[in-house]
């Protein structure tokens, strides 16, 4: 089977593509390489991999590529609230319009597996887990676009959407602007961190488990299709303060404090239930502590320069 991965050289895509190749899929990647990193070079030897440098908003390009594929992973995205706020037009044309175009161009028998975000829950009720039935109340343009396109995808059928927790871990297309990745970087390099609204909670997920859940969806597509699924670590619904305590277990001289004044512009605060995806047989394999240890090693290699979305 042939798979099309838009944004296949991104933070998630550069982890997913090797897993697809390992599972004997033929993979076509479309990416504009906007961050000037060099993921996928290690896999250019593989005859089952095709890479096209292009813009996923290019209707002619997508139309020609989509005809040859059985499965579509629309990963191309301006990811994160700060980036989307900085360029709202690019965010809408990439995160909504380009994916709507894929829906218009694909045939009904072509499968779509799409990563959305559990940031669509916005601000949850204290002590109450957000399930797939919880009303979506996104508080950023990024969240709103993800919620809107998820609705379009599910209405179109032959699709699975994955509401991913906040992702962490090393990747060939590294990002330092994700919460866990950022906090560990500061712990390793600065040794201190000032927190704003330290009790705000989120759920977390290792990037390798995203690749694993994508493969799980491929292998069980017909049984679980046309539904949204939360995906995260069920033992990692943690506040920012609790996250720092976990980091301190591996970076003992890490000092952190909560600011008495000021606020975090990111107001997301929720806990998430992952029971629905777990009931299909998927369980994460990588813990938060695994990811922290991995990042500590990774930051002997990576220093802050281009490894961010903003």
pLDDT, tens digit (0-9, with 9 covering 90-100), for 160-178 = 999 999 999 999 999 999 9
pLDDT at 210: 98
- Rounded to whole angstroms, the Cα distance separating 50 from 103 reads 22
Report which of 186, 204, 206, 203 is spatially closest to residue 194, judged by C-alpha positions.
Answer: 186
User: What pLDDT is recorded for position 81?
Assistant: 86
Residue 174 maps to a domain: no
Which range marks the domain in which residue 258 is found? 179-201+235-298
Average pLDDT, the chain: 94
State phi, psi for 134 to the nearest 5 degrees. Answer: -65, 135
For residue range 65-88, what is the model confidence (pLDDT) as tens digits? Answer: 999 899 999 999 999 888 899 999
Same domain, 10 and 88: yes
| Neighbour-count burial of 48, counting CB atoms closer than 10 A to its CB (0-12 exposed, 13-18 middle, 19+ buried) | middle
Tell me, yes or no, whether 77 and 226 share the same domain: yes
Confidence of residue 284 (pLDDT cuts 50, 70, 90): very high
What integer pLDDT is reported at residue 309 of this predicted model?
65
Q: Is 117 helix (H, G, I), strand (E, B) or coil?
A: strand
Residue 23 lies in a domain: yes
Residues 23 and 152 in one domain: yes
The CATH number that applies at residue 264 is 3.90.25.10
Q: Is there a single domain that holds both residue 186 and residue 40?
A: no
Identify whether residues 195 and 214 lie together within a single domain. Answer: no
- Mean pLDDT, rounded, for 36-60: 95
115 and 222 part of one domain: yes
What are the tens digits of pLDDT across the range 5-26? 999 999 999 999 999 999 999 9
Q: Is residue 309 part of a domain?
A: no
- 60 part of a folded domain: yes
**Residue 180 confidence class, pLDDT cut points 50, 70, 90:** very high
- Count of domains in the chain? 2
């Amino acid at each position: 089977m042939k798979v099309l991965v838009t944004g296949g050289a991104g933070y998630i895509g550069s982890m997913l593509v090797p897993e697809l190749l390992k599972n004997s899929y033929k993979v076509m990647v479309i990416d504009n390489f906007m961050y000037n990193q060099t993921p996928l070079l290690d896999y250019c030897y593989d005859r089952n991999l095709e890479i096209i440098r292009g813009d996923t908003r290019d209707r002619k390009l997508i139309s020609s590529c989509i005809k040859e594929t059985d499965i579509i992973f629309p990963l191309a995205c301006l990811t994160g609230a700060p980036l989307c706020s900085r360029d709202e037009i690019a965010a809408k044309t990439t995160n909504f319009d380009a994916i709507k175009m894929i829906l218009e161009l694909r045939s009904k028998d072509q499968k779509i597996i799409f990563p959305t975000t559990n940031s669509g829950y916005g601000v949850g009720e204290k002590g109450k887990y957000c399930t797939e039935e919880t009303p979506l109340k996104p508080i950023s343009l990024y969240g709103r676009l993800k919620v809107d396109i998820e609705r379009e995808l599910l209405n179109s059928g032959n699709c699975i959407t994955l509401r991913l927790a906040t992702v962490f871990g090393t990747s060939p297309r590294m990002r330092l602007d994700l919460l866990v990745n950022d906090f560990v970087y500061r712990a390793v390099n600065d040794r201190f961190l000032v927190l704003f609204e330290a009790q705000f909670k989120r759920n977390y997920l290792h990037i390798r488990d995203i690749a694993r859940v994508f493969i799980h969806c491929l292998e069980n597509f017909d049984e679980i299709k046309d539904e949204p699924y939360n995906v995260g670590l069920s033992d990692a619904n943690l506040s920012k303060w609790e996250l720092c305590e976990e980091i301190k277990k591996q970076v003992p001289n890490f000092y952190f404090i909560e600011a008495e004044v000021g606020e975090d512009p990111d107001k997301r605060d929720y806990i998430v239930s992952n029971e629905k995806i777990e009931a299909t047989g998927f369980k994460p394999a990588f813990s938060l502590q695994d990811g922290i240890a991995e990042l500590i090693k990774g930051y002997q290699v990576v220093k802050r320069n281009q490894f961010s979305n903003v």
